[in-house]
Structure 1
Amino acid sequence: MSSAFAALRNLFLRPWLLAALAASASAILLLIASIGLAMHQVQQSEREQMNAKGERFLERLEQIFGQLREGVDQLQAQPLRGCSPQMLAALQQVGFNNRFVFEAAYIDGETRCSNRLGEHSTEPVRPPDIQGPTYSYWLNTSTEPNDNLAALMLGRGHFRISTSRGHLSDVVDLPPGGSLLVVLDNGMRAVPVLGPAQAWPPTPDWSLDVANSMWELPDHLIYRMPTKSPDYQLVLITPRASLPLKMNGVIWLLFPGSLLLAWCIGWLVLQLVRQRQSMSSELQGALRRGELQVLYQPILELNSRRCVGAEALVRWRHPDGTLTSPDLFIPLAENTGQIRQITDFVLQRVLEQLGQLLRANPQLYISINLAACDVMVPRIGRVAARLLALHHVAASQIAFEVTERGLIDVVVARDNLQALRSVGHQVLIDDFGTGYCSLAYLQTLPVDCLKIDKAFIDALGHDAASSGVAPHIIRMAHALQLRVIAEGIEYEDQALLLNSEGVNYGQGWLFAHPLSARQFAELVTRGRRRGPRRIDDEA
């Protein structure tokens, strides 16, 4: 299993492969997202166009029905009957006065006359589609696609007034297959006014009582227009066959843009992987060339200001004197597995540089940071045992610092830390309060000391929300009978306040900057406080 994982890991460390995978995945995701967005925009545009058409139709229909009612009321109110010249003049006058009146006619048995001189008036032979108390309505009185034929007819008494199909179709051109329907019989029957007949009802759950005016079906859009009459509803229905055609044009715009952006993402991934591998190779070379060095941050007793130990810090100094921040190369080393070599290097360098000092001062200790990979396996214990035996240094003088974030599996970590502690090593929790280690877990871990993160030390004496964290950690550590080390002390009042809170140990620039091995040995052997010194001041 491990060999398969290693082969897979090596495969994915190839820059071109990673770049190609990133570009391919980006292209697919971008195309899917772009097509989805384009479809949403096309559908939104389609809905807006449908709403606009429906509103224009409704406005025109209200005007038409208003004029038809006004005309037929005017004819019904006048006393003339029969087809006298005066009646023809009255019918013609109604046609002249109302823009949307196509034909005004008088019908009484065999007696017929119309304002359309010389033309036979149109009378539907079927019963009215809508029979109201005052008016009768005939819908789609002619199915021929001719704008100069009647489409709607209104009747009252012996008078009939109709409008032509052209008066409706000049507002909005219906697409092929689209229809303007009048829905009757409580939504169970639909009569086309414009366009072909449609299958009705469109869906099994169709109802005139629904609140939404727009219905979206896979192949049709249905727009329901409210009317003042409870006897009928107006419905505009159009096919959605235009959607794929619109999408074809949009895709041709999205396709090259998505590919170009995916290529840019692949190129960036390639550069990042190469840079990462380049730094990884440089780090490996730095280990071989001895460019890594170990400095020591003294840990002092706050009461006496006596040095009791130090934290070993690794620095990468290039031949030209420039430094690479540990924040850059330590995470890289953890991800590539090189952190184990660095930890072994630090442990070996500490014992080589300070072995004599540690043997001469049995109470002095040096703490070394452990990465998560070394917390989860017992490897470092064997390495430390071999080096300690070689340099004749007691295990109690080498402490190991672990962070809360390094405790991935608390049960496994507890067993490995207990193995280190059982041979005499001290175990410290570094940057306590910044991770996720609960009190319940802390009680079960084999720990000797908590180190309070600098962020909480800086908040002491201020009104910041985190100003009470440090005192809380101190009280918790005392309850668990653990020692406390405050990190990042820069001012005397911080040291005094911490000491008054029961913190016995601290480290920070107030006491000393990171020191070389020779400077740290001088600090211990002379037994005096060292003034602040930067690493650039080393001899």
Structure 2
Amino acid sequence: MAAVFPQLRSLLYRPWALAMLAALASALLLFAASFALIMHQVQLSERQQMNASGERFLVRLEQVFGQLREGVDALQAQPVRHCGPQMMDALEKIGFDNRFVFEAAFIDGAQRCSNRRGKDVASLGRPPDIQGSTYSYWLNTTTQRNDNWAALMLGRGPFRVSTSRGHLSDVVDLPAGGSLLVVLDQGRRAIPVLGSEQPWPPASGWRADAVDALQVTSDRLIYRMSTKSPDFQLVLIAPRSKELPLFNTPLWLLFPVSLVVALCIGWLVLQLITQRRSMGGELHGALRRGELQVLYQPIFDLSNRRCVGAEALVRWRRPDGTLTSPELFIPLAEHSGQIRQITDFVLQQSLEQLSHLLRANPHLYISVNLAACDVTVPRIGEVVARLLSIYRVAPEQIAFEVTERSLIDVDVARENLQALRDVGHTVLIDDFGTGYCSLAYLQSLPVDCLKIDKAFIDALGDDVESSGVAPHIIRMAHALDLRVIAEGIEHEAQALLLESEGVDYGQGWLFAQALNARQFKELITKGRRRAGRRAGDEA
């Protein structure tokens, strides 16, 4: 089993394997999303069709009930009460005048007659299914599947008026396997008017007191039609579709589109990995070819605007003259382990270029950024000790900056940073406020100075939410007896405000941009000469 992991790791480290894995994962995710969208659309379409069918049935039922009531009321109002020519004329007139009246009949004891001459009207004599105060209702008067048989009958006194299945279903067809039900006994019993019998009440998901007209259970669509009668409810019920629409919806195009997108994602991953690997190789070559250079961002005392040191910054200038952003190659170097070489290079270059300047100006220092891998091991202390011995520079003139994000293991970091401080190096927390370093950790760490991130400096006086962060950090640093450096100062107003808040030092384009070694030496030399002239003038 142990041998499997190295093989798997070796496989996944290959660009093509990673690209195929990304494409496969993307395809599965996109296919799942497409399938879910199609199912949602199918269910939505199913509901819309059921709503439409229910609304059309409701309109037709209102028309049918209206004509049945008018017909039976007209028969009840006429004086004839026996089967004869006058009665037959009255019954036929009701059938002619009302489109939805299929049969009009008179039943009084042994007397039974209907406008459908010669037809058996014996079934019209059974007890009603619903007995109202004015009207009686007969439902599903025959079980034969024939549009010309009565499906709904209304009675008043000795008169019966019915409609046929054809009149109910000529506007809209029943859904496949569906039924039009009349629900009785407070929802406990249902009689089909159209379609086959349905299990009632539904096994699960059905709520008799629900407000919505359409209810969806696990296997049924149930559309309730509003009626004015409290004695019954009209319900259209149909089974839910269990089959997917096969290639009859444009949404199925999502699958080939998803496949194309997944292949594009795989191709992009391949390009990014190849580019990253290529950049990693180029970075290794850049270290050998000397394409990396060190620039120095001067740091000034805000009280007298005197340069007290500089932060060493590494830059990668390609042979064609283009600069590669540190935000691009530094994370790559940290991931590949080349950051150690870069840190050593920055220390070597800083001392090689500025050792004479540092020896001549004991107050001057250079700060070097440390990565997380340098904080967790004592290696950097050995490297800097050897270089300081070679270039005869005091440890106090080399400071080290660490970010909050590099303090992964606080206990180990505390031990290694304390070792650097014991030798004489200054330790700074860079970009303070952007990581997760708590006050408790800060109190326990061997730190001399905090550097406030440029984002908080930019917010001074502008961003109401963030403008109070920098003063808070300053007060916290003073409470812990720490010095403060503000990064990214670009305006005189910022410098004056920070100085009034008690910030000790600042760096930014207000004072100077990043300089090469020669420019930095000139800055220090000119500053020293100006200071000498002012002293002589005062003398």
Q: Normalization by structure 1: what TM-score?
A: 0.90
Q: For 1:265-304, list aligned pairs within 5 A.
A: 265-304=265-304
For 2:228, the equivalent position in structure 1 comes to 228
Q: 1:211 Cα deviation (Å)?
A: 2.4
Percent pairwise identity? 74
Are 1:434 and 1:453, in contact at CA under 8 Å, matched by a contact in 2? yes
Q: For 1:469-480, list aligned pairs within 5 A.
A: 469-480=469-480
Q: 1:237 Cα deviation (Å)?
A: 1.0
Q: 1:78 Cα deviation (Å)?
A: 1.1
Paired residue secondary structure (1:34): helix
Cα 1:101/1:358, change in 2 over 3 Å: same
Q: 1:59 Cα deviation (Å)?
A: 1.6
For 2:244, the equivalent position in structure 1 comes to 245
Are 2:38 and 2:252, in contact at CA under 8 Å, matched by a contact in 1? no
Are 1:83 and 1:113, in contact at CA under 8 Å, matched by a contact in 2? yes
For 1:203, the equivalent position in structure 2 comes to 203
CA distance in 1, matches of 2:133, 2:301: 105
Q: 1:374 Cα deviation (Å)?
A: 2.2
Deviations along 1:58-107, whole A, 9 cap, x unmatched? 12112212211221121112110211111110111111111110011112
Deviations along 1:390-417, whole A, 9 cap, x unmatched? 4333322211111223233433332332
For 1:515, the equivalent position in structure 2 comes to 515
Paired residue secondary structure (1:127): coil
Cα 1:238/1:248, change in 2 over 3 Å: farther
For 1:82, the equivalent position in structure 2 comes to 82
Are 1:39 and 1:247, in contact at CA under 8 Å, matched by a contact in 2? no
For 1:537, the equivalent position in structure 2 comes to none
Q: Which moved more, 1:336-345 or 1:461-470?
A: 461-470
Q: 1:228 Cα deviation (Å)?
A: 1.1
CA distance in 1, matches of 2:334, 2:254: 41
Q: Which moved more, 1:480-489 or 1:269-278?
A: 480-489
Are 1:64 and 1:100, in contact at CA under 8 Å, matched by a contact in 2? yes
Q: 1:306 Cα deviation (Å)?
A: 3.5
For 1:330, the equivalent position in structure 2 comes to 330
CA distance in 1, matches of 2:480, 2:529: 31
For residue 475 of structure 1, what is the amino acid of its counterpart?
A: R
Q: Which moved more, 1:175-184 or 1:295-304?
A: 295-304
Q: 1:326 Cα deviation (Å)?
A: 1.7
For residue 488 of structure 2, what is the amino acid of its counterpart?
A: G
Q: Which moved more, 1:217-226 or 1:181-190?
A: 217-226
Q: Which moved more, 1:375-384 or 1:463-472?
A: 463-472
For 2:481, the equivalent position in structure 1 comes to 481
Paired residue secondary structure (2:99): coil
Q: For 1:129-528, list aligned pairs within 5 A.
A: 129-203=129-203, 206-241=206-241, 243-246=242-245, 249-250=248-249, 252-460=252-460, 465-525=465-525, 527-528=527-528
CA distance in 2, matches of 1:354, 1:75: 118
CA distance in 2, matches of 1:323, 1:221: 66
For 1:71, the equivalent position in structure 2 comes to 71
CA distance in 2, matches of 1:520, 1:218: 77
CA distance in 2, matches of 1:461, 1:140: 81
CA distance in 1, matches of 2:421, 2:472: 26
Cα 1:492/1:134, change in 2 over 3 Å: closer
Paired residue secondary structure (2:293): strand
Q: 1:282 Cα deviation (Å)?
A: 1.3
The count of corresponding residues between Structure 1 and Structure 2 is 529
Deviations along 1:241-265, whole A, 9 cap, x unmatched? 3x52326645743321211111111
Paired residue secondary structure (1:435): coil
Are 1:305 and 1:529, in contact at CA under 8 Å, matched by a contact in 2? no
CA distance in 1, matches of 2:431, 2:261: 41
For residue 214 of structure 1, what is the amino acid of its counterpart?
A: L
For residue 347 of structure 1, what is the amino acid of its counterpart?
A: L
Paired residue secondary structure (1:183): strand
For 1:535, the equivalent position in structure 2 comes to none
In structure 1, runs of 5+ residues without a counterpart are 531-539
CA distance in 1, matches of 2:139, 2:486: 91
Cα 1:499/1:139, change in 2 over 3 Å: closer
2:26 is equivalent to residue 23 of structure 1: no
For 1:14, the equivalent position in structure 2 comes to 14
Q: 1:161 Cα deviation (Å)?
A: 1.1
Cα 1:454/1:7, change in 2 over 3 Å: farther
For residue 76 of structure 1, what is the amino acid of its counterpart?
A: Q
CA distance in 2, matches of 1:208, 1:434: 57
CA distance in 2, matches of 1:3, 1:255: 38
Deviations along 1:319-355, whole A, 9 cap, x unmatched? 2222222222223222333222211211122222223
Deviations along 1:163-191, whole A, 9 cap, x unmatched? 11100111211133211111112211111
Cα 1:205/1:218, change in 2 over 3 Å: closer
Q: 1:133 Cα deviation (Å)?
A: 2.7
Q: CA RMSD in A?
A: 2.7
CA distance in 2, matches of 1:470, 1:200: 70
Are 2:181 and 2:190, in contact at CA under 8 Å, matched by a contact in 1? yes
Cα 1:438/1:107, change in 2 over 3 Å: same
Are 1:38 and 1:247, in contact at CA under 8 Å, matched by a contact in 2? no
Cα 1:436/1:149, change in 2 over 3 Å: same
CA distance in 2, matches of 1:119, 1:260: 68
In structure 2, runs of 5+ residues without a counterpart are 531-539
Cα 1:259/1:120, change in 2 over 3 Å: same
Q: Which moved more, 1:479-488 or 1:73-82?
A: 479-488
Q: 1:29 Cα deviation (Å)?
A: 0.8
Are 2:206 and 2:217, in contact at CA under 8 Å, matched by a contact in 1? no
Cα 1:491/1:231, change in 2 over 3 Å: closer
Paired residue secondary structure (2:243): helix
Paired residue secondary structure (2:121): coil
CA distance in 2, matches of 1:468, 1:206: 58
Paired residue secondary structure (2:92): helix
For 1:534, the equivalent position in structure 2 comes to none
For 1:533, the equivalent position in structure 2 comes to none
Q: Normalization by structure 2: what TM-score?
A: 0.90
Cα 1:503/1:254, change in 2 over 3 Å: closer
